[in-house]
Amino acid sequence: MPVIDYYDAGGWGGQPPEELRHRQVVARDIIATTLARDTGTAPRVLDVGCGDGGFLAHVATHVDDERVRWVGVDYSEYQLAKAARLPYEFHQCDLGEGIPLPDASMDLVHAAEVIEHLNNPDLLVEECARVLRPGGHLLLTTPNLHAWYNRLLFPAGIQPIFYETSSRSTEVGAGPLRRLKQQTLPVGHLRLFNRTALLDLLRREGFQPVSVRGARFHGVPPALTWLDSVFCRRPSMASILVVLAVKP
């Protein structure tokens, strides 16, 4: 079955450029701090699901090391065509088949909002471990199945936010939340994790978790953003999980 490209010109890729999300700000700062600690040879950073390369370009402006080599992989040929404007290395790939890079060739791998789109999330983590050198870091972000509002919605018979059962509309299962939706185009979520499941998966593939942080979700109604910020302090209930792990 062919992979659906939800980020081509007819999907989310055709939407206006977005401002930096809170999860991206958190990830950017973690990447910059992690690279600053690496005093070895020129670091190589891989962005899995890099899209148009915009996040890599942004991070590069916050890293004071001209030796860093930036690499991105993505399935969407449409997004990669836009990324070609940047002086980085990009590869098109189907993550269901692996990452087309050599073993132990990367110092840091960033995989943001990717794992929830895959039929085989185990393979993604396995491949990230393969391309990382010993001592390298994996920074992974994904929506939290047990976000504070999902803990309220599920008992009420409403499908949890982030979880999609239709490839055509996010209104399926939304119940009374339908009227709050400004956009019903799915993003292609297949699997969702809570904190425990995500850390279990990382450990199974040999990673040692270093830190777990929470990030806000841009789709929370403005009147509740303060509450979403509060729950960021408790990652198990945050909207987005941001996990840094090391390959021993």
Domains identified in the chain and CATH numbers:
18-145+188-246 (3.40.50.150)
CB 80 within 8 A of CB 7: no
pTM for the full predicted model: 0.90
Residue 225 to residue 150: CA distance in whole angstroms: 15
Rounded CA-CA distance 86/82 in Å is 9
Tokens found for residue 206: 């040999």
pLDDT of residue 246: 98
The whole-angstrom separation of Cα 189 and Cα 169 is: 12
Q: What is the pLDDT along the chain (248 residues), one digit of tens a residue?
A: 456 565 555 554 545 456 789 999 999 999 999 998 876 678 999 999 999 999 999 999 999 888 999 999 999 999 999 999 999 999 999 999 999 999 999 999 999 999 999 999 999 999 999 999 999 999 999 999 999 999 999 999 888 999 888 888 878 877 777 766 667 777 888 899 999 999 999 999 999 999 999 999 998 999 999 999 999 999 999 999 999 999 99
Inter-CA distances, 133 with 100, 102, 104, 127, Å: 15, 10, 4, 12
Judge whether 243 and 113 are in contact, CB under 8 Å. no
Looking at beta carbons, which pairs linking 152-157 to residues 24 or more positions away fall under 8 Å? Answer: 153/177
- Residue 111: φ, ψ to 5°: -130, 95
